[in-house]
Structures are given as structure tokens and as C-alpha cells.
A and B are shown apart, each in its own frame.
Chain A
Amino acid sequence: MLINQASSLIFCKMKKKSSENYHINKKMSVLVYTENWDGKFKKLSYELVSYASGIAGMLDSSVTALSIGDVDTSELESLGKYGASKILSLKNVHLKSLDSQAYTVVIGDIAKELNAKVIVLSNNNTGKAVAPRLSVKLEAGVGAGVSRLPSSLDPFIVYKRVYSGNAYANVVIKSEIKILTLAQNSFEIIETENKAEIENINYDLDPGLVKTEIRDIQKQSGKLLLTDAEIVVSGGRGMKSPDNWAPLVELADLLGGATACSRPVSDEGWRPHEEHTGQTGKIIAPNLYIAVGISGATQHIAGVSSSKCIVAINIDKDAPIFETAKYGIVGDAMKVLPGMIEALKNAKSG
């Protein structure tokens, strides 16, 4: 028989700072885990809180946001604007980097204390690492990569992309507690007049639970991440040579966007692997995706089909990318790109 050992270990480990009598609020709430990046939140954090707030509205409940790590008060307060009524701030030296097992214990215990009925995380690397573990710990079904508010509460039905974007599914979550991971850039952020109460909490974590040991970190800082970018300019084999990338990069810079590429391009080593966008690479949903010299194979489309607007530039008028694109230019990328750059510069100066 399987025994979920963690659940037998639960006792009240969470306590309010400088107070002996922590009153457990048994009113059910929506818990949202808001990760930070070097002490800062990003647009996706506000999407998460806006989404959690939408669910709380449906449930006539309130949103509690949980932050783990060193985040200053003004940054924490910013979560309030998107509808969080309470922000729990937990600082713990053992939780500096992600250990899926330890994070699960902490978030799970806090969810129990709050009597959270819905737990919202991002469908990013962290959410994907923690949400499934929480699911087992709390016996709570996961709606993975949801992109809309539930269409119904009883039964609790969520909507998600399946078959890599070739279809969508309505999924019923049958458990009492529901865990949802939100697809990035799928939910509008909604600013409100709301202000949140911030509470610093402690958690008495057994350091032995943290088993992953970080040996080395290789990180580029200051670069706009492909998954965060609202505008992405992407190149395919039609760019013909790695030496032709300058105008593509210039266009992306002018638009304040990031650069991406198709699989053959990263396989050839023309561009770094981090830029590979598609089914087996990064799955992105920017507001604008400009595909240059990309024919549009199913596997590529699977990675970009959630983009709000797709523009395709391709020399072949029959390229499948035009079936997905909203706007298209049939032409040589090496001529069209400089033209776009010039037009953009003119539009900006005008």
C-alpha cells in the first residue's frame, strides 16, 4: 500500500511572528503562490493574482498570496492592486532555491492552515515542479495550464489546451481542493483600488527536507526572457544563414521584443537552443509573433499558436504558416526586414 508520508507529518508549523495566539482563519480562501525573481514580481505574477481574484469573486471568497523569499514591502504591496487581500511573506534560508519537495511541504501546510479550496500557481517551471506534488499531498486534482476562469463551479470545470494546441478540453476537477496552473499571458491583468494586508510568517522547516544541492548557477541577467516577451521575432531556415540574423535582431530590439527561432535553426547551431520555439522547445504566447522564413510545421505551430497576433514573412506563398498567420507578406526576408525596420523608425520619429 502507498502511504503518503508527508500527510502524517503535518502539524501546525506555521506561526505568526510576535504572536502566541495565531488565530486560524477557517473561512475558505483562494491561495496564490507568487514566485519572485531576485526580489521582484513580473507581469505573470499579476496575471496570477488577477486570475485568483477572478476565482475568489466566483466563490465569494478572498485571495491570499504567498511569497517565499526576500521581497521588500512595496513590492509585496503591489500584489494588492490586483486583488489579493492578504499577502503572506515567508523568508527562510533553506528555501532560497527551488527544492520541489520542500516547497510542496511548505505551500501544502500553509494551504491547509488557510483552508484554501483553490490553489493557483503559474504553469512555468516552478509551478510544473510543485503543483503535481501538491496535488498528491492534498489529494487535489490539477487543472494544468488553464487559460480561462472556470466555466462552472459545481461541477468545477476548467478549460485547457490539449494535443499541443490542436484541441482544447473541458476538464472537471472532482476533488474538494482544486489546484490550477495558469498558462502565461493568457489572462488579462486587472488593476483595482484594493490594498492588501501584509503578514510576515515563519515556518519551522526541517532542513533535512531540502535534498537538492545547487553546485553551480549559469545565468544571464538583464536579458528579456523569451517566455516573458510580449513581442517575439523568430527566424527559420528561410533566413538562409546564421550571418543573416542582424536585421531580425534589430527589428526585435526596436520593438522591445525577444528573438526566437525554429527547430532546424537551433539544431544547426545557427541560434542558441534557448531560442527554439515549438512543441519540444519553448511554448510561448506573446501579443505579437513575427515568423520570418518559417514554413510553419505542425510542431512549430504547437509552440506559438496561443500568440495573440501572428505575422508571417515567407518567400513561399503556399507555406502553411500563412494558415495560422493573421497578416502575411510574401517576399524575401532580407528585403522585407530592412523595409520594416525603416518603416518602424519613421513611425516612431513621426
Chain B
Amino acid sequence: MKILVCISNVPDTTTKVKFTDNIKLDTAGIQWVINPWDELCLTRALELKDGNPGLIESVTVAHVGPVSSEPTIRKALAIGADSAIRVNAEPHDAYFVAAQLAEVIMEDYFDVVLCGIESSDFNGSTVGSMIAEFLQYSSVSAVSGINIENGEIIVTREIDGGKELLSLPLPFVAIAQKGITKEPRITAMRGIMMARSKPIKIFEPKEVKPLTEIVSYEMPSKKEACRFIDADKPGELIDILQNEEKII
């Protein structure tokens, strides 16, 4: 069984983003990282491989981005992915990215495709399910667990007020969130050394017209200063919430 984990290259989640002319991300000083949910997917894929050595043959990561995102790919290899694929293109929109990744999967077959529920930059939650539709694979979203029981993959899906355990035939795409593993795997020195010699296969993009385009960014409106209430007068706060804000 071959697992593919799709990874996105995003600014570190503590970054206070800024834009030039309301459209261009000011990249000065930005630390780029693997999208946190993708990192959890990669960790889980490696745990499954370690726990089922005969069953899972390899874990590959795939990324759509220019050569400047290679340090993030190398990090994924250092964490433990066996190989990587990079589609050499700017990731224009989710549709474009998903179409490129679907093409990669058509070329190099994978049984299980894992994608993070969203990327911390565009918060779209769309790429994984789009890949599945391009390929006519089944897909499960809101996945909080993937386990192998008696050689069969059992997926846990979050639903309102609970969870479902489900099975589905290969190949499929799982779009995963918090819960699939506890912590992202940390890179060890040995992993970093080994990553240098692992292959990154480059695909040239196929022609796909993006369906959406960001035309401008806006910053959240400046909020008024916090109004402090004396700790000895909690009744004052209740009164404000009840009579001024009218929300309780």
C-alpha cells in the first residue's frame, strides 16, 4: 500500500501577516513551515507505516509550489517521508492545485491520499475533496482517526455531537484534522542528514485555468481598547452584557 500526503507551505502560524498594496504578502522575516494539519497527516502516515511494515510500502509527500518551497519539502523528508514530488508551479487557487495533484496521482498510483483539513493561509478546506472528485475516488472529510485493523483501514469521522467509524475501499482520499495523531513528529539529526539524499521528483504543471483569484486583502478592523471592570464588581459586567450588549 502506498500513501501520499499532500503538503502545503505556509507562514508559521504565529506570523502577523502584512501585505504590500493590499495584495502582495510581505514575505520578509516569514518562517515557512509545513501546514500544521498536513504535518499531522504525515506523522500519522509514518506511524501507520512503522506499525504495519509489511502492509505499507512507502509514504510520499506531494507539493505544488516553486523551487523556493523545497526547504519545506526537505523538512517533510527529514521527518521521515520516503520520497517527494513537487509540481513546479505557483499554487494559483485550490482548483488548480487539486488538478495538479490529481495528475500526479494518476501518474504514480497511491492507495491512500491524506490531506490536512485546511491550510492555515487560505483556510479553504477544499483541495483534498477536489482531488477525490477529479479522480473519482471516495473521500472522507473531518477525519480524526485512521487505524489498520486486521489489514483493513478504519477511518474515524467527526460528526455533530460524536463520531462515526467507517470503512471504504481503496483507493480513497482522507481529509484529516486534529485527533489523527497527538503531536507532529520531530526531525532528528539523522533524519535531516538522510533527507539530503532522498529524491524529489519534479513534475511540470499541466494547463489548468484557476476558477478563483484573490483581488485584495484587508486587515481586521482595529478594535477599541478593552473596557476593564473591577474584579470586585462582577455584577457590573453582567449588567453590561444584559442591558448594553443585550446578549445574555
- Are A298's CB and B123's CB within 8 A? no
Closest to A302 in B: B13
Let me know if A19 is at the binding interface, CB within 8 A: no
A328 with B129, Cβ < 8 A, contacts A142-B94, A279-B120 known: no
- Are B134's CB and A329's CB within 8 A? no
| A residues near B168, Cβ cutoff 8 Å | 211-213
Let me know if A24 is at the binding interface, CB within 8 A: no
Name the one of A4, A168, A172, A280 contacting B217, with C-beta atoms under 8 angstroms. Answer: A168
Closest to A339 in B: B234
Residue-wise interface mask of B (159-186) relative to A, using a CB-CB cutoff of 8 A (1 in contact, 0 not): 1111111111100100101110000000
Let me know if B109 is at the binding interface, CB within 8 A: no
Main secondary structure of the interface of A (DSSP, over half): mixed
A44–B240 Cα distance when bound, in Å, is 27
Name the one of A137, A214, A227 contacting B165, with C-beta atoms under 8 angstroms. Answer: A214
| B residues near A221, Cβ cutoff 8 Å | 161
Let me know if B108 is at the binding interface, CB within 8 A: no
- Are A175's CB and B211's CB within 8 A? yes
Q: Restricting to A137-178, which residues have a CB under 8 Å from any CB of B?
A: 137, 139-145, 155, 157, 160-175
The winner among A162, A276, A328 for most chain B CB atoms within 10 A is: A162
- Are A160's CB and B178's CB within 8 A? no
The winner among B95, B163, B234 for most chain A CB atoms within 10 A is: B234
- Are A144's CB and B123's CB within 8 A? yes
Q: Please give the distance in Å from A167's CB to the nearest CB on chain B.
A: 5
Q: Restricting to B102-127, which residues have a CB under 8 Å from any CB of A?
A: 102-103, 106, 117, 120-127
Stretch among A69-77, A86-94, A97-105, A235-243 lining the B interface: A97-105
A155–B213 Cα distance when bound, in Å, is 11
| A residues near B227, Cβ cutoff 8 Å | 326-328
- Are A132's CB and B228's CB within 8 A? no
A326 with B226, Cβ < 8 A, contacts A298-B14, A340-B234 known: yes
Let me know if A30 is at the binding interface, CB within 8 A: no
Residue-wise interface mask of A (294-306) relative to B, using a CB-CB cutoff of 8 A (1 in contact, 0 not): 0001110010010
| A residues near B241, Cβ cutoff 8 Å | 288, 309, 311, 327
Interface residue total, chain A, C-beta cutoff 8 A: 102
Let me know if B83 is at the binding interface, CB within 8 A: no
- Are A129's CB and B129's CB within 8 A? yes
Q: Please give the distance in Å from B130's CB to the nearest CB on chain A.
A: 4
| B residues near A23, Cβ cutoff 8 Å | none
The winner among B36, B121, B122 for most chain A CB atoms within 10 A is: B122
- Are A215's CB and B212's CB within 8 A? no
| B residues near A299, Cβ cutoff 8 Å | 13-14
Let me know if A135 is at the binding interface, CB within 8 A: yes
Name the one of A144, A219, A298, A330 contacting B13, with C-beta atoms under 8 angstroms. Answer: A298
A100 with B129, Cβ < 8 A, contacts A136-B134, A173-B212, A330-B231 known: yes
A100-B132, A139-B211, A167-B219 known; 6 new pairs, CB 8 Å cut-off, are A125-B160, A142-B212, A162-B217, A213-B166, A217-B159, A217-B163
Q: What are 19 contact pairs spanning A and B, CB under 8 A?
A: A5-B136, A104-B133, A129-B175, A132-B126, A134-B133, A161-B123, A171-B212, A171-B213, A172-B213, A213-B168, A216-B164, A218-B162, A302-B13, A312-B226, A324-B223, A327-B228, A327-B240, A329-B229, A329-B234
Question: Which residues of A line the B interface, CB within 8 A?
Answer: 2, 4-6, 37, 97, 99-101, 104, 123-125, 128-137, 139-145, 155, 157, 160-175, 211-221, 223, 225, 227-228, 230-231, 255, 273, 276, 279-281, 287-288, 297-299, 302, 305, 308-309, 311-312, 322-332, 335-336, 339-340, 342-344, 346-347
